[in-house]
């Protein structure tokens, strides 16, 4: 009887946790779709990249802060050839002159299957050699992929002063 009670309790807890994680993934997906609409509102030319890239990931809500040492984190949604295929987490660590906090969205386009596969196999990290383009009208016109990757960011608010070095690390989980 005791084992049955423990099993039922475990089933209840795991069902509740699974329901919570499904709600969280649904929220991240909704936020990613809203972030995509905001990117396109700012620069409608991005539609060409959304249609022509092999895949992309949208991090709708990245929080960043620092005072000397800084960090950022956010969850995202991954699409391949227009189909939702998984989820991602981004973490960032920076060192240098920095103070404040900000929120932003980030979209990363993958030019080809090789670049996409590097990302989904958790073999992609961004350092100083990859720079993000702050989105503004027509920012995507003439933008070039670097090693099969193209990154755009859009500020959501906050104030951050920064002259620092760091990098972003990603982890991917299939749907």
Decide if 16 is inside a domain. Answer: no
- Is the pLDDT score of 88 beyond 50? yes
Q: How far lies 81's CA from each of 53, 57, 72, 78, in Å? A: 7, 11, 28, 10
What is the rounded CA–CA span in Å between residue 121 and residue 109? 16
Q: What mean pLDDT comes out for the span 13-17?
A: 39
Strand partners, 19: none
Decide if 142 is inside a domain. Answer: yes
pTM recorded for the entire structure: 0.81
Decide if 17 is inside a domain. Answer: no
- Quote the domain boundaries for residue 101: 36-174
Tell me, what's the pLDDT at 114? 96
Question: C-alpha angle 131/137/138, rounded to 5°?
Answer: 70
Decide if 99 is inside a domain. Answer: yes
- Which tens digit of pLDDT belongs to each residue from 108-162? 999 999 999 999 998 877 764 455 666 677 666 778 898 899 998 898 876 665 5
What's the total number of domains in the chain? 1
């Amino acid at each position: 009887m005791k084992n049955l009670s423990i099993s039922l309790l475990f089933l209840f807890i795991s069902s509740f946790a699974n329901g919570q994680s499904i709600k969280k993934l649904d929220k991240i997906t909704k936020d990613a779709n809203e972030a995509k609409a905001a990117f396109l509102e700012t620069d409608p030319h991005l539609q060409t990249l959304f249609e022509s890239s092999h895949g992309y990931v949208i991090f709708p809500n990245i929080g960043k802060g620092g005072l000397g040492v800084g960090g950022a984190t956010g969850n995202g949604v991954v699409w391949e050839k227009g189909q939702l295929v998984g989820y991602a987490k981004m973490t960032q660590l920076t060192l240098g002159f920095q103070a404040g906090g900000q929120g932003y969205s980030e979209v990363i386009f993958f030019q080809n299957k090789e670049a996409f596969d590097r990302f989904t196999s958790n073999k992609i990290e961004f350092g100083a050699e990859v720079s993000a383009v702050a989105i503004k009208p027509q920012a995507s016109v003439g933008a070039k992929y670097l090693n099969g990757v193209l990154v755009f960011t859009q500020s959501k608010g906050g104030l951050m002063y920064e002259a620092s070095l760091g990098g972003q690390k990603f982890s991917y989980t299939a749907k």
